[in-house]
Each structure stands twice: as structure tokens, then as C-alpha cells.
Chain A
Amino acid sequence: MREHPAEGELQALLDRELPNARALVLRAHLLRCAACRARADAARETAALVDALLRRTTPKVDSDSAWERLVVRSGGRAATARPIVRRWTPVAAVALAAAAFIATLTRGASWPGARADPLALVREAQAHPASSLLRDACCSDHDGGDRPDDGLLTLSSVGEKVTVVIVYEDVDRSGTFTHGDIVRYVSTIPHGTPVAHTVR
């Protein structure tokens, strides 16, 4: 990478909150750049100090008696309630079908199913960062499930040619595309001509 990472990105790296591909790029940069290594060390020390101060000064609270008070205050509901996990809605199915239809119109090799192993494509892109650009935007609600738990991963080559688009559900909530995530949609044009239409 040519540019030095900003403080916020270093912070996200330290907190393991960067997408894997970006974290790899930054770590490689830190190996080569002593100045950024020093900045990362300083950021790590600052974060450790703040976290340690906040954690060790958190007062000890009698959680058991506090819980009993909550049960009484809630009329007993706290003792039985569980946070509801919202389910995938029919609206999401319609949205996904629409997305698949639109993608088909763009002549790509659309896929929910086979044809390509998206993880293999990602690994290949990570192995050859000079020849391709991997972007992992996570997370928003791309599948209409009413939850910001979907990622949009794109792979591009020189000349702004987008060759792979993956919509995935970030099951492990890692904030990046990893093994075990659900692939909702894949469109690949590994050997064809990428689409470049003007919207009319």
C-alpha cells in the first residue's frame, strides 16, 4: 500500500475489526514501515491504558439482588423473556429475487449454487493483491432481512472492471466474509467481459 493507514484504521486493526483482506494489507505495511509500527504501538498502549482504567474502576455491583429487583420491576417478565431473533421475512425473498433478476440482465454468470467457490476466489484475490482489488463492505441490510448483517464483496481488476459480486450473510458477525457465512448471491465474470453500461 502506498499510503500510511489513518489512526482509525489502526485502531480497527488492533480491535480485530477490520475485514481480513484489509487487515492483511495493513499488517504487511506495518512490517515494512517503522513509523507506522511506532504509531500502532502507541495506539495499542493508549487503548490498553483506557480499557484497563475503565475495566478496573467499574464498581462491583450485586448482580443477583439487582436481577431480583428487575424481575419484580418487570412483573416477572425478565425471568422468562429472551431477546427475539427476527426471522428472514417474505420481503427479503422478494428483494433477493429482484436482485437476482437484475443481475441476470447484466449477462453475468449468476449463481446461487455452484459454478464458483467464492472463498476460493477471495483467497486467490488475497494471494494476488497487485492484480485485483478486493472490497468487503460489511455490514448493511442487502437481503431485505431487516437486519444490517449482510456483506457486499466485490472483486475488480485493472480498469474498474468488476468481475465478482458476492452478497453474503455475516453469520459469525465477524464483519467480514469468512468460512461459515451464508452466500446469498454470487455473480462472477472471471473470463468474460465485465459489464459497463451507461444508465439511461
Chain B
Amino acid sequence: MNIRRLFERHYPSLVWYLHGRLGDHDLAEDLAQEAFVRLLDKPLRAPDAWLYVVAGNLARDARRSEGRRARHLSIASAHERVAAAADPAPGADAAMCTAEEAALVRDTLAMLPERDAALLVMRADDVSYREIAAAIGVAPTSIGPLLARAQQRFIRALGSRAERGRNDARASG
């Protein structure tokens, strides 16, 4: 696979993953680009998962240097978005992706341990167990259990955030 095809396949997901870690779309794009530049310096046979690992490291460095936290939005505004996503307007197309839904998913991912978030995004991006395993330094047979636990944590976190949002909406209403 050449770099262009690799870029088209993974760049949007990388940006999205980094946006979730950093809360800053422009910075996410910048770091996703940097990950690809580093790939040019170190061509690999199976770079898919490697890109996520490098992107995660870049995000960690960026947070450290800028004093950022992964959760960039205030709890209050996050709850408002959660409440809006939990109680869609009548007639709203449930299948349609909304900005609120995207923010809810992104914020929920940001609450997870970094490895869990990376695993879920890589899996959704169709990166193989073998590549994920090689990138994060575990045996391929460990990916199934890790992924299953990450999915459970994600669902639990999503549920608790939605519940919190509903409670806050009731309290303020």
C-alpha cells in the first residue's frame, strides 16, 4: 500500500482519535500529519497500528507541554450535550450523526484509559489484531480479551454519562 492510500484510509480516524485525546481539531490535524511525516522517515511493512501509537505519543507530549487535559470541555457543557443526545427532539432521525452524538462519543473515549481508546479506534478502523498487538507490545491472543474489556468500559462510560446528563437536565428543568 502506498502512502497516499494509507493516508486516505487512516487520516480521518487518526484526526478523530487525536481530537478525542486533545479536544482541539487543528492540533489533532497537525499531529496526524506529523505521524505521517515520521512514517516517511521510518517506512514499515505494517504501519497501520504504528501510526496510532505514534499519534498517541505525540498527543501525550502535546498535553504535557501545553498543560492540557484530555477532557477539554467543562463538565457542565458536556452534560448539556449528553442530555441533548439522550433526549433527541421528536422526529429527529436517530440514524443521523449529530454534532452532539460525536461530542458524546469523543468525550466518552477520552474518559477511557489511552490503550482502551486506541484499541477501539484501531478496531473500528479495521486494523488487524496482529498489527495492533505488534504496535502495543502484547501477544495477538491478548487483543481479544483487551478489546472485549475496552468495549464493555466504553458502553458503561457512555451509559453513565447519558444518565448523568439526564439527571442534570431534570435538575435544571
- Give A residues with C-beta under 8 Å from B: 6-12, 15, 17-18, 43, 46-47, 49-51, 53-61, 63, 66-67, 69-70, 73-74, 77-79, 81-86, 138-139, 147-148, 173, 175
Contacts and interface: CB of A to CB of B under 8 A. Distances in A.
Contacts of B16: 57-59
Contacts of A69: 33
Contact of A78 (B40, B47, B151): B40
Interface in B127-173: 128-130, 134, 140-149, 151-152, 154-155, 158
B155 A46 contact: yes
Contact of A57 (B106, B128, B140, B145): B106
A170 to B, nearest CB: 8
A173 B1 contact: no
Interface string B15-46: 11001000001000100010011011001110
A70 B45 contact: no
Contacts of A58: 12-13, 16, 124
B58 interface: no
Interface string B60-103: 00000000000000000000000000000000000001000110
Contact of A81 (B13, B43, B121, B154): B43
Interface residues of B, number: 53
B159 to A, nearest CB: 11
B54 to A, nearest CB: 14
Given A10-B148, A11-B144, A78-B40, A66 B33 contact: yes
Contacts of B25: 59
A73 B33 contact: yes
B162 to A, nearest CB: 12
13 contacts: A15-B147, A46-B151, A54-B124, A58-B124, A59-B102, A61-B11, A61-B15, A63-B8, A63-B11, A66-B29, A70-B33, A73-B37, A175-B128
State the 5 A-B residue pairs at the shortest beta-carbon distance, nearest first.
A8-B145, A12-B144, A8-B144, A84-B43, A54-B124
Contacts of B129: 12, 15, 17, 175
A112 B82 CA distance: 61
Given A8-B144, A46-B155, A50-B155, A70 B134 contact: no
A199 B4 CA distance: 53
